[in-house]
Structure 1
Amino acid sequence: MRGARRWLWLLALLPAWPVLAADLAPLRIDEPQAWGHTVGDVLQRRVHLAPGQQLAPEALPKPARVDTWFELREVRLQGRGSAQQLLLDYQLINAPQKVSTLALPALRVPLATPEQAMLDLPEWPVSAGPITAEVVLSRAGLQALQPDIEPRAPLRRPVVLRLILWGALALAAAAVLLLRRHPEWAWWRRHAPFRDAWRDLRRLSSDQAAPEACQRLHRAFDQAAGGALFGPGLADWLAQRPGLAPLAPQIEGFFAGTQRGFFEAGAALPPAAEVLALCRRLAQAEGRGA
C-alpha cells in the first residue's frame, strides 16, 4: 500500500520536473574584471539562464543607485527561448581614497513560474582605486603648495605701437613727396608713353639722334592719343588736355618741323636737343597727370 502511494506521488510530480530541474540547474554568470577599476567605469554582469528558465520583464530590477559605490544603469534581456541572457550594467560613481575592495550587490529576481521560484545572484567583489594619490611626494618640484610665480616686467606696448605708427606715417609722407618730385618712379603708372620715350631717347647715339628721336617721340604721341596723331587732329587732342597748354607751341612746332623734314626735299628735322627737351617736359607733365 505504501509503495503504491510513493509511485502515485512520483507520477504527480512528473509534469513539474522540468521546472524543478531548471530551478536546480547551476547558475552561469560572466562577471566583470575584479581589479583595476576607478570612478566612471561600467561593469557588466551577464547571467545565462538555464533552459526552461524565463524572466518576466515587469519583474526585472529598475535602474537606480544601489549603494554608496554603484548605480544600476541598465537592465535588459537578450536572446529568445532557451538561450536567454540577463545583462546588468553597473557604474562606479564614487572614488575611494585608497585601493579598496567593493562588491557588486547580490540580487534576487523572480522567475516566471507558477511556483514563484527566485533567481539568486551572489555579490561579486571588485577592487577600485583613487583617481590621484592622496599624498604628493615632496621632490622634484612636486610639493602640494607651489610658490608664487614671479611677475613679469610690464610690456611697454603702447609706446612701441606709437613709435611704429609715427614711423610708418613719416615713411608714407616721404614717399608721397618723392613721387611728386619724381613721378616717373611710380611703378603703378603703367601707361606713361612720354616717360618711356624719354628713357629711350637718353640712350640714343649722336649720329642717329635726330631721326630716331623724332620717330620715337611721334610714337609716344600716338600711344597717348590711342591711335595715329597727325597735324590736323593735334588741336583737338590738345584741347582735351589742358595740362599740356604751356607746351602747346613747342608741340605744334615739333609736328610742323617733322612734317617738313620727313616729306619736303632739303628740309631739316628739328634738332635732337630740342626733341629731347620737349620729351622731358612732356614726361614731367605726364607725371603730374596732364
Structure 2
Amino acid sequence: MKKSIRQYALILFMCMSPLTAFALDSQELPDVKEGIVTIETKDPVKLVGYTVGDVIEREVTLTIKAPYKLIDTSLPIPGYEKRYRGQLIGIELKSINHVKKESKKQTVHHIKLAYQVFTNNVVAKNAALGPEYLNLINATDKKELVKYRVPSLTIAISPIAIFGQVKVENNMSPLLGPLLMTEDKEMRYLKISLAAIALSLIGLLYILGKSAWLPRMGGAFAKAYRAVRKTGNTDEGIKQAISTLHQGLNTTAGMSVFSDNLSAFLHNHPDFYPIRTEIEEFFGLSRRVYFEPSYKLEGEHTADQNPHQWLTRFARHCRDCERGLIPEPMKAGA
C-alpha cells in the first residue's frame, strides 16, 4: 500500500515538475527487468589526453520492448554538470540529440550526447561520462515505474602544463594502453628496397643471362656469343669465331651482310646502330684473317691486339643490341 501511494505521488510530482522529480527520485526507482532494454554504444576511440574545452561525443542506441516507454523528461539536460560522489568533476553535457522510431513491438531511441571538459589540474586524472539514469513507464500499467542505467565511460583528463619533475612510468593512465612504435615508414622503405632489388636482379639476369627462355634471349647472337666464348685464342679458333659471327649477322638480316650492304642492314635493324664502327672493324678483321694470309696481327688495328678477346666482346655487344640494349663502346686496347 505504501509503495503504491509513493508511486502515485511520484507520477503526480513528475507531471508537476518533471525536472526536479528526475533529479530527486530517478535513482530510487527499481531497475527494469532484464531483456526489456538492449543497448549499443559508440564510444570515442580516444580515451586519454582530453584538456579544457575538448568536446567528447558519445552515441547510445536503446531498444525498449513494449509495453515499456521511455519518459522523455528523464533524459539528461544540456548544461548539467556531472558529479562524482557529490563533487563536480568539471564535465558538462553540452548538447543532446534524441531521435526515436516506434513500432508495435518496440521503440528504438538513438541518442547523441556531447560532453565538454571545463576542468584542469596539475596532474592527469580520471573522469567518467555517466552513468545516466533513464526512467521507463509501463504503458499498460501506469503504476509501474522503473529505471535503466546507461553505463558510464571512463576517460582521462590531462593538464595543459606539467609542473615539477614527472616520472612517465608512474603517471601513465591505464586507459592509454601499450605504446607501440609504428613501423609503417620502415615497412614502406623495405618494400621499395625489395622491389628495387628484384628489378635489379631481373635486369642482371636479362643482360648477363645465357638461357633462351626469357624474351629476346634466344636470338642468333645469343647463340653466337656462347659459341665464340668456347673458341680458343688460336688461328683456327679466331677463324671459327669470325665465321660464327658472320652467320649471326646473316641470320639476323635474312641475307648475307658485307661492308657494301651494311647501311641496308642497319636501316632494317636500327638497334645495331650503336656498334656500327665495331661492325666495320669486324669486317676489316675478317678480311685480314681470311684474305691476307701474309698479314700479321701485330696491333695496327684495335681488333688485332687481342683478336679473340675483341671478338668475344663484339659478340656480346651484338647480343645486347639484339635484346634492345645499348652496349658500352669499346675502349682502345680492349
TM-score between the two structures when normalised by the length of structure 2: 0.32
TM-score between the two structures when normalised by the length of structure 1: 0.36
Bigger Rg over Cα: 1
